[in-house]
Amino acid sequence: MSDPSITDPAAIVEASASAHPRRMTLNMGPQHPSTHGVLRVVVELEGETVRRAIPDIGFLHTGIEKQFEALDYQQGVTLTDRVDYLANLSNNLCYALAVEKLLGLEIPPRAQWMRVLLVELTRLNSHLVWLGTQALDIGAMSVFLYCFREREDLLRIFEMFSGQRMMTSYIRIGGLALEPPRGWQEAVSRFIKAFPSNVDQYEDLLTKNPIWLRRTRGVGHVPLDVLVDLGVTGPVLRACGLNWDIRKTEPYSSYEKFDFEVPTRTEGDVYARYQVRLAEMRQSARIVEQALAGMPEGAWRADAPHVLLPDREKMKTQMEALIYHFKIVTEGFGVPAGEYYQAIESPRGELAYYVVSDGTAKPYRVFMRTPSFGNLQALPAMTEGRLVADTIASMGSLDFVLGDVDR
Amino acid sequence: MLPDAFRDNSSAAALENWDPSAIVGGKRTFNETTLEIAPGKILAVCGYLKRDLQFARLSSITAVDWYPAEPRFEIVYHLHSLARSERLRLKCRLPEAAPEIDSVTGVWQGANWYEREVFDLFGVRFREHPDQRRIMMPDDWEGHPLRKDYPTHGFKYSYKDE
């Protein structure tokens, strides 16, 4: 084992080469397909065994938290899309909920249900990308094509709603950005009716596939208490037997009105994480179906003229609407001084926005507790002392997005 | 001293009972409990909260810069108890002259990267941190970008005369 007090990647390479001539230090990434972005992992190998693995992050740091402080509250929604670019709507929702809490806004039921429907579709989108890429990393190429077939349908649905495939910014402070488009029910219900049989297809390809089983069973196991201590959240914890889902324990956006289960496994290996995520996809499909069937009628955004832009027609005929429009566009809206920490269950785990307001129209501080950042800390625990090929499987099963890690 | 509004909060009351001088203030807003802790006691308080009050999870550590007010930096800890589904926010105020506080990596391993991030972006040092390096910015970066007196735009060098 090399000196654990040395953590700087460059120093490790040097120290390792002189102290252990049989040991090889390898840079995995930042441009490596299995790192799903720009993650660099410095791995110290002895033969095929990983002795140390040190994640090096920050290559995608774009100072989003700093940018928040220069934009007004509603403009900040566009930044949240760019944090976790596979779960845009989850980030939109989390930020909007935090600011709405500070504003004391009441969101009408239709908007709340619409939000639930959209973030569950986002979960499907995110899990599909995860499944496709994880299978691709391990060598099952065809699964990727199946997953992206469905993902394309989902992106078309998002485009239908917001005009954008990925950077939707559709969930805004106070409700939704636009009225749901004509024909959205048909598009969503066509997709969601076919979806369970699509999950069956993925399962046919993988669940009993002997190569898949050998590459995932017993791989990357870490005890539950260590994972909790490291700050891991989401499906990785549930694959280790912990029944904790923020949608159940701290419901938001009327999740308490939906009937769904929290899938768990106890094995805690890569295979268990695969099983949990597949079961979650089926549960998400259930939630979307319930949201479709029970979608309340009514307003799709809050009644808050000082926060939301007025209708175009009203603006042309009513003086008051014109004044609000002018004020919101020129100076934004003030948010009462205070702070709030809103946590939601994103596809990757606990996503939280900590918004601090000083009473002005721009946030004083926005901190994002992103699930990928917390989960990635567990990578050394998952890989050290094990085979280098399993590093790829473990890394994929953590399901991190580098935009989410680096912000 | 514990404000009276917290007498019914069992975690806050237990902490007050355990060490009366640890809590220097607090508030309750939007159903969230915030306790201000004396900076010198943070390590002991976190250890106690994890060990005896089942706050098994550290959700995050971050900081807020209240420049030009003093004490300038506010270190914010978000704790979560899985057993009771309870969240607790701890705060420590640090002066600009010596922004230093004990690391809690010994209590929760997961604090490691969060403290590195605060060190990198705010320039707050964590005593006894096992790996105090920049995490987001390049190693040779100057300054701490999330400080309020760090410019949001502009260039370090002027190319006008060239």
Q: How far is CA B73 from its chain centroid?
A: 9
Do A231 and B108 make contact, defined as CB atoms within 8 angstroms? yes
Q: What is the mean pLDDT of residues A50-79?
A: 89
ipTM of the complex: 0.89
Please indicate, yes or no, if residue A321 is contained in any of the structural domains: no
Q: What is the mean pLDDT of residues A28-53?
A: 81
Do B59 and A63 make contact, defined as CB atoms within 8 angstroms? no
Q: Same structural domain for residues A213 and A288?
A: yes
* Residue range A326-349, pLDDT digits in tens: 999 998 888 999 999 999 999 999
CB B11 within 8 A of CB B67: no
Q: Same structural domain for residues A190 and A254?
A: yes
**Which residues on chain A place their C-beta less than 8 Å from a C-beta of chain B?**
5, 7-8, 57-58, 61, 63, 65-67, 69-70, 101-102, 225-226, 228-232, 242, 244, 249-250, 338-341, 343, 350, 352, 354, 356, 364-365, 367, 369, 373-374, 377, 406-407
Tokens, residue B36:
């201000």
Query: Tell me, what CATH number does A150's domain have?
Result: 1.10.645.10
Q: What is the mean pLDDT of residues A118-137?
A: 92
Interface of B with A in 51-90 (CB under 8 A): 56-60, 62, 64-65, 76, 78, 82, 85, 87, 89
Beta bridge partner(s), residue A349: A346
pLDDT over 70 percentage in chain A: 97
Q: What is the mean pLDDT of residues B101-129?
A: 91
Please indicate, yes or no, if residue A256 is contained in any of the structural domains: yes
Could you give the dihedral angle defined by the CA atoms of residues B141, B147, B148 and B153, in that order, rounded to the nearest 10 degrees? 20
The DSSP output letter for A387 is B
Given this model, what pLDDT does residue B156 score?
64
**pLDDT band at residue A188 using 50, 70 and 90 as cut-offs:** very high
Spell out the residues 6+ positions from residue A135 whose beta carbon is closer than 8 angstroms to its own: A141, A143, A144, A147, A205, A206, A212
* Residue range B48-98, pLDDT digits in tens: 999 888 898 999 999 999 988 888 999 999 999 988 888 999 999 999 888
Please indicate, yes or no, if residue B107 is contained in any of the structural domains: yes
Tokens, residue A47:
């033969």
Closest chain A C-alpha to B78 CA, distance in angstroms: 9
Report the mean per-residue pLDDT for chain A. Answer: 89
Query: Tell me, what CATH number does B78's domain have?
Result: 3.30.460.80
* Residue range A347-380, pLDDT digits in tens: 999 999 999 999 899 999 999 999 999 999 999 9
Please indicate, yes or no, if residue A385 is contained in any of the structural domains: no
Closest chain B C-alpha to A244 CA, distance in angstroms: 8
What percent of chain A is helix, strand and coil (3-state, nearest 5)? 55, 10, 35
Report the mean per-residue pLDDT for chain B. Answer: 86
Q: Same structural domain for residues A73 and A172?
A: yes
Return the SS3 of A178: coil
Closest CA to A311 of A159, A162, A181, A179: A179
* Residue range A226-244, pLDDT digits in tens: 999 998 999 999 999 899 9
The domain tally of chain B equals 1
Residue, of B2 and A125, whose pLDDT is higher: A125
Do B78 and A373 make contact, defined as CB atoms within 8 angstroms? no
* Residue range A378-391, pLDDT digits in tens: 999 999 888 888 88
Q: Which long-range contacts (CB under 8 A, 24 or more apart) does A289-294 make?
A: A289/A192, A290/A258, A290/A259, A291/A113, A291/A114, A291/A116, A291/A117, A291/A120, A291/A258, A292/A117, A292/A185, A292/A188, A292/A189, A292/A192, A294/A113, A294/A257
* Residue range A257-275, pLDDT digits in tens: 999 999 999 988 999 999 9
What percent of chain B is helix, strand and coil (3-state, nearest 5)? 25, 30, 50
Please indicate, yes or no, if residue A396 is contained in any of the structural domains: no
When mean pLDDT is compared over A135-144, A282-291, B127-136, the highest value belongs to A282-291
Do B137 and A61 make contact, defined as CB atoms within 8 angstroms? yes
| Residue-range definition of the domain harbouring residue B92 | 4-127
**pLDDT band at residue A190 using 50, 70 and 90 as cut-offs:** very high
Q: Same structural domain for residues A150 and A96?
A: yes
Q: Same structural domain for residues A242 and A346?
A: yes
- What ranges in chain B are assigned the alpha helix state H? 10-18, 42-53, 111-122
User: B85 to chain A: which residues are within 8 Å by CB?
Assistant: 249-250
| Whole-structure pTM value | 0.90
Given this model, what pLDDT does residue A1 score?
45
Given this model, what pLDDT does residue A178 score?
87
Do A338 and B32 make contact, defined as CB atoms within 8 angstroms? no
Please indicate, yes or no, if residue B72 is contained in any of the structural domains: yes
Please indicate, yes or no, if residue B99 is contained in any of the structural domains: yes
- Find tokens 């996809």 and name the residue: A281
Q: How far apart are CA B92 and CA B96, in angstroms?
A: 13
Please indicate, yes or no, if residue B26 is contained in any of the structural domains: yes
- Asked if the model's pLDDT at residue B132 lies above 90, the reply is no
| Residue-range definition of the domain harbouring residue A34 | 9-56
Q: What is the mean pLDDT of residues A136-149?
A: 89
Q: Same structural domain for residues A134 and A48?
A: no
The domain tally of chain A equals 2
Q: What is the mean pLDDT of residues B98-114?
A: 91
